[in-house]
């Protein structure tokens, strides 16, 4: 599974907006239990001796970074650099005006704050903390409107050209900083502590205000605030009202704000898709990957006395069902450092899994089988076999027309399950004879670049969209039994029907092609 979602643990809206009498401000109001978060700037609703009025609203949101850190420690998340963390927040439709062409700033908060229990987002009558002036019942913000880190490496800007867009922002650097602090054991050395995020309009889009009362500047800069109104001489003299996102209190399962961890967890085991080297193929395409899976009593464990260290793999040709004769000489590439070496070096992949990349050159007389022997320090741990084939070449673009079925689909799953879905793939025009059926080593075609998505059937909502971008988070794996992927059912709202959709990458056209077959299942508590 290459997607884990961490739902927000606290969120609220803070504001200095006028109450309905246009005299008092809602600076003491709290909206911690509201089902949405609101961000706006209102300019010039009132006039006074200091010019046109300024009203602002900002969102605060916090995530359980300790859970993220624990997930990595348990081996469920890859190491830093091998996983990306995305802030996902979802537009909440409303009957008010919606600004366009604005930018929101996402930056870490510098101090702890209390979510509160307020609900009123119109009259601002629910008092409590956090609010515009106070972060807790006993502690004021260092600046009115919240206090934030202003380092450019920690800030993310998100543009909203149309206004109704969601947030899907890469905040990996910041999350890794939070994890470092969580694991620092008291020696923090300037690492950023997790107090959540503040989200607001840019300083140039928050309302203009300048006054002789106080010389304050925006939060995060030096200088004091002028009470509940922020000094912002570089601000806008137009309003941006109003942008709303669903909060963690929303009734909609898929609209809650989350940090989504994404990475490519696919394994590509070429044991039943092993191709001999070809002089017309690039060196990278001549490499094949093989895996050793060390199952003990049904679970993956590291090989004793090997652990996370490397293994050696030797290859033998044989027609007798077992390795015989001398080791094959291997061409340079992958786990082979020099040409004609007799061993390839395999590396540790994950708990109980080791992998090697190797190329093989076809002999003048084809051999029916190749045996791979995995060993270290004179001890042999595993012997496998595979049946290499010559690499096909074409003087035309090959057809790409497949039929897919899910071989182990169940009608329903529990929300606590992690299910593995396996697929049988064949060319649509395949017409097997009795001979080909009885002699085939692996009747399923293997799709080297395949991706999955999960849709809710009632409204075709993408509960898990295709992750075919930079993260490749929904790439399917394959092994000797064909293509497969694992799905954590906790990602899906219970008591709904879902369907799996598949997309295969067609090299001949350089694009993904969604397959016509879909596979339905239900998730229950």
Determine the distance from the C-alpha atom of residue 207 to the mean position of all C-alpha atoms in its chain, rounded to a whole number: 35
Contact residues for 373 (Cβ-Cβ < 8 A; gap 6+):
313, 314, 315, 316, 323, 380, 382, 383
Same domain, 474 and 419: yes
Co-location of 416 and 376 in the same domain: no
Are residues 312 and 250 both part of a single domain? no
pLDDT, tens digit, 9 for 90 and up, residues 244-303: 999 999 999 999 999 999 999 999 999 999 999 999 999 999 999 999 999 999 999 999
Last residue of a domain, one of 352, 386, 420: 386
Tell me, yes or no, whether 16 lies in a domain.
Answer: yes
Tell me, yes or no, whether 431 and 341 share the same domain: no
Say if residue 512 is exposed, middle or buried (CB neighbours under 10 Å; 0-12, 13-18, 19+). middle
**Is 395 part of a structural domain of the chain?**
no
Q: Is 473 exposed, middle or buried (0-12, 13-18, 19+ CB in 10 A)?
A: buried
- Do 352 and 470 sit in the same domain of this protein? no
pTM to 2 decimal places: 0.91
Cα(309)–Cα(349) distance, integer angstroms: 10
* Edge-to-edge strand ranges of the sheet holding 344-350: 288-293, 353-358, 344-350, 311-318, 369-376, 379-386
Contact indicator for 35, 251 with CB cutoff of 8 Å: yes
In a domain, 109, yes or no: yes
Full domain range(s) for residue 346: 270-386
Residue 148 forms beta bridges with which residues? 109
Q: Is residue 303 part of a domain?
A: yes
Q: Are residues 281 and 250 in the same domain?
A: no
Residue ending a domain, choose from 262, 282, 308: 262
Is residue 99 domain-resident? yes
- Residue pair 452/476 in contact (Cβ under 8 Å)? The answer is yes
360 plus 437 within the same structural domain: no
Looking at the structure of the chain, the number of domains it has is 3
> Would you state the pLDDT for residue 212?
53
Query: CATH code at 313?
Result: 2.60.40
Q: Looking at the structure, tell me whether residues 194 and 226 fall in a common domain.
A: yes
Q: Is residue 413 in some structural domain?
A: yes
What is residue 214's predicted lDDT score, i.e. its pLDDT? 43
Same domain? 149 vs 213: yes
CATH number at residue 451: 2.60.40.10
Mean pLDDT by 10 residues, the chain (525 residues): 94 95 91 98 85 93 97 92 97 97 98 97 96 97 93 94 98 96 77 95 95 46 63 94 98 98 96 92 95 94 95 88 88 95 95 95 78 95 92 74 95 97 89 53 83 98 93 94 96 98 91 95 97
Domain boundary among 262, 287, 309: 262
pLDDT given at position 49: 63
Residue 100, pLDDT score: 98
Give me the phi and psi of 28, to 5 degrees please.
Answer: -95, 5
Q: What DSSP state is assigned to residue 154?
A: G
Are residues 245 and 359 both part of a single domain? no
| CA–CA distance, 219 with 208 (Å, rounded to integer) | 14
**Are 58 and 205 in a shared domain?**
yes
The secondary element (H helix, E strand) that includes residue 180 is helix 172-182
Residue 394 belongs to some domain of the structure: no
Confirm if 259 and 86 have CB atoms less than 8 A apart.
yes
Q: What is the pLDDT of residues 104-137, one digit of tens each?
A: 999 999 999 999 999 999 999 999 999 999 999 9
Same domain? For 308 and 352 the reply is yes
Asked if residue 393 is part of any domain, the answer here is no
């Amino acid at each position: 599974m290459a997607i884990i979602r961490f739902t927000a643990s606290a969120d609220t809206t803070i504001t200095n907006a006028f109450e309905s009498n246009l005299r008092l401000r809602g600076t003491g109001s709290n909206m911690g239990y509201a089902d949405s978060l609101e961000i706006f700037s209102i300019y010039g609703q009132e006039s006074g001796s200091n010019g046109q009025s300024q009203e602002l609203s900002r969102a605060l949101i916090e995530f359980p970074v300790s859970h993220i850190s624990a997930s990595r420690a348990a081996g469920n998340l890859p190491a830093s650099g091998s996983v990306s963390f995305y802030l996902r927040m979802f537009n909440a439709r409303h009957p008010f005006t919606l600004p366009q062409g604005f930018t929101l700033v996402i930056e870490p908060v510098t101090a702890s704050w209390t979510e509160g229990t307020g609900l009123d987002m119109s009259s601002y009558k629910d008092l409590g903390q956090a609010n515009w002036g106070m972060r807790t019942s006993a502690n004021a913000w260092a600046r009115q409107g919240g206090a934030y880190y202003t380092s450019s490496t920690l800030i993310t800007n998100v543009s909203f050209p149309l206004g109704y867009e969601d947030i899907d922002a890469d905040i990996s650097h910041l999350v890794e900083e939070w994890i470092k602090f969580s694991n620092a054991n008291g020696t923090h050395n300037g690492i950023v502590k997790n107090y959540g995020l503040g989200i607001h309009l840019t300083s140039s889009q928050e309302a203009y205000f300048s006054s002789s009362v106080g010389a304050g500047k925006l939060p995060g800069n030096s200088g004091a605030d002028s009470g509940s109104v922020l000094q912002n001489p570089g601000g806008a003299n137009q309003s941006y009202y109003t942008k709303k996102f669903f909060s963690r209190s929303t009734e909609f399962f898929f609209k809650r704000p989350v940090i989504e961890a994404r990475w490519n967890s696919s394994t590509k085991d070429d044991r039943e898709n092993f191709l001999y080297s070809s002089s017309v193929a690039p060196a990278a395409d001549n490499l094949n990957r093989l895996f050793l899976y060390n199952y003990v009593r049904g679970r993956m464990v590291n090989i004793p006395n090997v652990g996370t260290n490397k293994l050696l793999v030797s290859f033998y040709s044989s027609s007798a069902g077992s390795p015989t004769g001398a080791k094959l000489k291997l061409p340079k590439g992958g786990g082979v450092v020099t040409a004609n070496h007799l061993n390839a070096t395999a590396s540790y992949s994950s708990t109980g899994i080791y992998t090697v990349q190797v190329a093989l050159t076809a002999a003048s007389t084809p051999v029916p089988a190749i045996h791979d022997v995995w060993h270290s320090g004179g001890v042999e741990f595993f012997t496998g076999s595979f049946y290499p084939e010559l690499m096909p070449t074409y003087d035309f673009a090959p057809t790409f027309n497949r039929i897919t079925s899910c071989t182990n689909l169940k009608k329903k799953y529990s929300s606590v399950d992690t299910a593995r879905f396996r697929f049988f793939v064949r060319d649509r025009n395949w017409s097997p004879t009795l001979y080909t059926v009885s002699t085939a080593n692996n009747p399923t075609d293997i799709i080297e670049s395949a991706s999955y998505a999960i849709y809710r059937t009632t409204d075709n909502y993408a509960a898990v969209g295709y992750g075919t971008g930079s993260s490749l988070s929904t790439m399917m794996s394959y092994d000797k039994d064909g293509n497969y992927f694992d799905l954590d059912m906790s990602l899906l709202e219970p008591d709904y029907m879902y369907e799996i959709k598949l997309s295969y990458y067609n090299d001949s056209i350089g694009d993904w092609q969604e397959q016509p077959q879909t596979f339905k299942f239900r998730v229950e508590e």
